[in-house]
Amino acid sequence: MNQSTKPRTTRNPWAWIPTLYFGQGIPYVVVMTVAVIMYKRFGLSNTDIALYTSWLYLPWVIKPFWSPFVDILKTKRWWIVTMQLLIGAGLAGVAFTLPTPFYFQASLGFFWLLAFSSATHDIAADGFYMLALDDSQQSFFVGIRSTFYRLAMIVGQGLLIILAGTLEIMSGSEPVLLNVSSSPTIQTEIKLDELPEMTPNNDESTFVVYPENLVINTNKISADSLNVLKNIAEETNFSNGFVKKSDEQKELEKGDTKKSWWSQNVAAPLSNFIKDNFGEKREIAALDDNLVGNASLVAIRLSESPKEGDEIVLNTTLSDGDKSISLISGERLTFSSNNWDKPAYVLVQLDPNLRTETTATFKGISGNIPLAWSITFFVLAGLFVTLFVYHNFILPRPKTDHGKAANSPSDIAREFGRTFASFFTKKGIGLAIAFMLLYRLAEAMLVKLASPFLLDIREIGGMGLSTQEVGLVYGTVGVISLTLGGIIGGVVASQKGLKYWLWPMALSITLPNAAYLLLSYFQPESFLWINLAVGIEQFGYGFGFTAYMLYLIYFSQGEHKTAHYSICTGFMALGMMIPGMISGWLQDLMGYNHFFILIMIATIPTLLLVPFLKIDPEFGKKSKKEEKIIPKTEE
């Protein structure tokens, strides 16, 4: 990495600060948010997504334990460019493994590499920032670095998701349209063995739907009749590989009834208790001697085989019309060269209270999801290789940026221990740690399920948005609102200080979570209302998070403030990791509406802690001397 020409010790900060902090934000948002949406598109359950991706917070939790070694070994400049190369390699690894049968284990391993490399990059970049700039430059570029970090959030949660969604559509067939109507007098006669042949057009694979226009009689049927239709759909889809069976179903098929002590005595009883007492009852209630709404099967197949090894996933949701007509099975079907010529089944049901004629249109969007996301990650890998090359030449070489390998291991260990001991003997440490862990308790659970909630079909309580729409709503509108909330929070805090704004900011980070509760209750079809709700919640989060960030700076004051702030960020990450791990499990048991009620209950600890915090009324005001340690916000 040494240049043949004499290295420059100074360089215009505009040449490297924007790209450095843009590069700092991308891997974080990829690991924390993009991975969640990607795994959802691959069909993983919310429980698995929340559990495994929450573990990826661990590198930021334990970051304080290896941050001294970044300071001791090599230069911070060396750590920056090396980590960017590793991040690029990790992104390429994800891209290569997504089309494989073992994609989940392999991609998760590469996400771990990304997480550790990103956390190490954070340590080096923040240290390099203070070494390469003088005091006045540090103050001037605080807003610049924050802006480009936020821009990385917009690109990661917005443009990347939109790119992946566009590639999904481009790699698939024409959208499938299924028109369903109800009638008090007519019923379409379905003969499932008469699925018509279709000649491919222009050598492109298209979907055959039978029947395209379905009429269901409003007369009710018995619950047993409905179960027969549901079993036909589910068993056929399972046996032909259109739907993958869960681990639990596989174990039941094997007849494996052995359960661990934990599963038998703790996990299963707890799950059943939560589901029975707090779970959302979405199934349509039986009426009039166990009668339910009439239902009908629709068969779907491909007109020609996909390429060997390729998979085409068809996601079907209500596109337009009366919500009294719903899709209750077969919303996600996977077609391959092994099953393309066999019929897959979706099951459509009427509300039992429906008596009149009405219509609904269901749209199925297909695409090669592994290919689409693989290309997206290759684009990211190329970006980081470019950043590696650029920063290897453009980053300055401050004279103060050098390793401290001359220190003996005993000196290092002694200083390391003294630093940690001084943190945990600070006055009010117990209350401070409780605040760090609980201030974002509700948000820690919400953030893992926000994107799955927007993606899931309306029939199971979600909003039924496409990947592109989620990229626009959560990744663009949401991040812009988050950024505006953070900017306004910083401005007002600098006027009257942290103590004055603590209560308003605590209310701001908690009460707007009700926006998701309202979305889950009313399930508005208006895209504007969905954007507005997400925008309000994210603005409140950005505004309220300002208090959290300032409190970490306040509590880190004194000797070893750099190391103490690093420890605080470890508790910050831990407070996001643990609640996030169980959030998907709770949501699967409770349903979205009841889960968001739990989110509102989880805001109470935040508000209970605020009155007990002791904060200098002058801290954070403009008249105070600026802190030299400017943290990276890790939402």
What's the pTM value of the predicted model, to 2 decimals? 0.65
Question: What is the helix (H) or strand (E) element at residue 94, kind and residue range?
Answer: helix 76-97
Amino acid 375: pLDDT? 92
Does 1 or 500 have the greater pLDDT score? 500
Q: What is the largest CA-CA distance in the chain?
A: 89
Q: What is the DSSP letter of 632?
A: P
pLDDT by residue (tens digit) across 239-266? 888 887 655 444 445 544 455 555 565 5
DSSP result, 550-561: HHHHHHT-STTH
Terminal Cα distance for the chain, rounded? 33
Return the minimum-mean-pLDDT range out of 297-306, 536-545, 556-565, 591-600.
556-565
CA distance 220 to 357: 15
The CATH fold assigned to 1-171+370-406 is: Growth Hormone; Chain: A; (1.20.1250)
Amino acid 404: pLDDT? 55
Q: Which residues contact 526 (CB under 8 A, 6 or more apart)?
A: none
Exposure of 458 by Cβ count < 10 A (0-12 exposed, 13-18 middle, 19+ buried)? Answer: middle
Residue appearing with tokens 């019929």: 343
Q: Which residues contact 346 (CB under 8 A, 6 or more apart)?
A: 178, 233, 297, 298, 300, 316, 327, 329, 330, 331, 333, 362
Radius of gyration of the chain (CA): 27
CA distance 314 to 339: 13
pLDDT by residue (tens digit) across 380-413? 999 999 999 998 888 888 777 665 554 566 666 6
Domain ranges in the chain are 1-171+370-406, 176-367, 408-635
Domain 1-171+370-406 and domain 408-635 have a common topology = yes
Amino acid 407: pLDDT? 57
User: Is the distance from CB of 631 to CB of 569 less than 8 angstroms?
Assistant: yes
Per cent of the chain over pLDDT 90 is: 17
Which pair of structure tokens corresponds to residue 85?
């190369």
For residue 464, the tally of other CB atoms under 10 A from its CB is 22
CA distance 401 to 128: 7
Among candidate residues 310, 561, 547, the one with its CA nearest the CA of residue 422: 561
Confidence of residue 348 (pLDDT cuts 50, 70, 90): very high
Q: Evaluate if residue 336 carries a pLDDT over 50.
A: yes
pLDDT by residue (tens digit) across 517-528? 999 988 888 889
Q: How far is CA 453 from the centre of its chain?
A: 10
Domain 408-635 class, CATH top level: mainly alpha
